[in-house]
Amino acid sequence: MAGYLDGKVVAVTGGGGGIGRAVALAAAAEGAKVIVADIGVDMAGGDPKSEVAEAVVTEIAAAGGEAVSVADDVSTMAGGEHIIATAVEKWGRIDGVVAVAGILRERMLFNMSEDEWDPVIATHLKGHFTVFRAAAAVMRKQEGGGALIGFTSGAFSGSVAQANYASAKGGIVSLVRSAAAGLYRYGVTANAIAPVARTRMSENVPMELAEMGDPEDIAPMVVYLLSDKARHITGQIYTVVGKKIAVWNQPREVRAMYAADRWTPEEIEARLDSTVGVERMDLIDKLEEYRQAAAAKEQGQSS
Ligand SMILES: NC(=O)c1ccc[n+]([C@@H]2O[C@H](COP(=O)([O-])OP(=O)(O)OC[C@H]3O[C@@H](n4cnc5c(N)ncnc54)[C@H](O)[C@@H]3O)[C@@H](O)[C@H]2O)c1
């Protein structure tokens, strides 16, 4: 039976666990040769175990697929380059990169340390750059281009106790959009998934989420975006959760006002509220609802 990704070579970072594992298994089941890239760390990024990636390669082989493991740290240039070089050395090309690797170090902004900020930005944002950069250099020269898929989060639009994570996820959106624009002429697409799925990471959320699903619910959309059927789709952000797929809007200016000469603070004060105004921040409107939901979850756990 022909697979959706027959003949494609796809690297999945964070492919050893959670959503990445489901993506790696689904891509292999659809005929892709898969590089499972994972250093097998705990959720905060410590205690690496290379067996995590190897275990997924074994699962893929048992199901009749082809895969190879790379236990490199995606937050290093050498790690990103090695992941892509492994694909090229073994199979001669790289058609898709799915950047799923991630960690969490949650803290309120006023208490967050450098050691909580830097590794989260490095794993998520730089961890996308290292593999996208190495893959783009190959994809722009090969026939058929390629597909880059980033993993952001709804948290890119703001998050209460995750300034590090939210900033990294916002950076990933900008990186994906820049890749989409910069690589358009080379036939390389770039899109982002904002997933929600039951994994060790989502268990960490302080309240029950209204929408929830499994890692296997995310994988089909990733497979589709990696395929030749989705070559017309680039620069998009898709929420994927359970049975739902939703597209995010493109950021753009919505209202403007102009000064006769240079603005003064007094003139701005006189006109801003009644003309340009503000756009409501949904998250601020929902803070009280979230606080109550977190309290209810905590109470449920302690009773
Ligand atoms: N689960 C959710 O509901 C949810 C929601 C929003 C966004 N996300 C995003 O989806 C992605 C996957 O999340 P998940 O829930 O499957 O997490 P997970 O913790 O289950 O899996 C993450 C994987 O990344 C690997 N990893 C971490 N740092 C690495 C590094 N430096 N190099 C190589 N591998 C590394 C880990 O070993 C692990 O296998 C993450 O980017 C996460 O931020 C998840």
Q: 293 vs 37, 81, 223, 240, 290, CA distance in Å?
A: 36, 43, 34, 22, 5
**Does the structure show a pLDDT above 90 at 203?**
no
> If you average pLDDT over residues 115-134, what whole number do you get?
98
Quickly state the pLDDT bin for 303 (edges 50, 70, 90). Answer: low
Q: Across all residues in the chain, what is the average pLDDT?
A: 95
> Does residue 53 line the site of ligand 1, with CB under 6 A?
no
- The pTM for the full model equals 0.96
CB-CB neighbours of 296 under 10 Å: 12
36-47 pLDDT, tens digit per residue, is 999 999 999 999
Which one from 8, 33, 126, 169 is the annotated catalytic residue? Answer: 169
Active site residue 4: no
User: What is residue 299's predicted lDDT score, i.e. its pLDDT?
Assistant: 83
**Does the structure show a pLDDT above 90 at 295?**
no
User: What is residue 240's predicted lDDT score, i.e. its pLDDT?
Assistant: 98
**Does the structure show a pLDDT above 80 at 2?**
no
Percent of the chain beyond pLDDT 90?
A: 90
For residue 79, give the ligand 1 atom closest to its CA.
32
> Does residue 145 line the site of ligand 1, with CB under 6 A?
no
Active site residue 290: no
Nearest alpha carbon to residue 104 among 246, 12, 186, 205: 205
User: What is residue 231's predicted lDDT score, i.e. its pLDDT?
Assistant: 97
Percent of the chain beyond pLDDT 70?
A: 99
Structure letter (DSSP) for residue 37: E
Query: Is the Cβ–Cβ distance between 198 and 139 less than 8 Å?
Result: no
Structure letter (DSSP) for residue 17: S
Active site residue 184: no
**Does the structure show a pLDDT above 70 at 1?**
no
214-262 pLDDT, tens digit per residue, is 999 999 999 999 999 999 999 999 999 999 999 999 999 999 999 999 9
Cβ burial of 229 (10 Å; 0-12, 13-18, 19+) is exposed
Side by side, the strands of the sheet bearing 9-13 are 66-70, 33-37, 9-13, 96-99, 146-151, 188-196, 237-241, 244-247
For residue 241, give the ligand 1 atom closest to its CA.
3
30-89 pLDDT, tens digit per residue, is 999 999 999 999 999 999 988 999 999 999 999 999 999 999 999 999 999 999 999 999
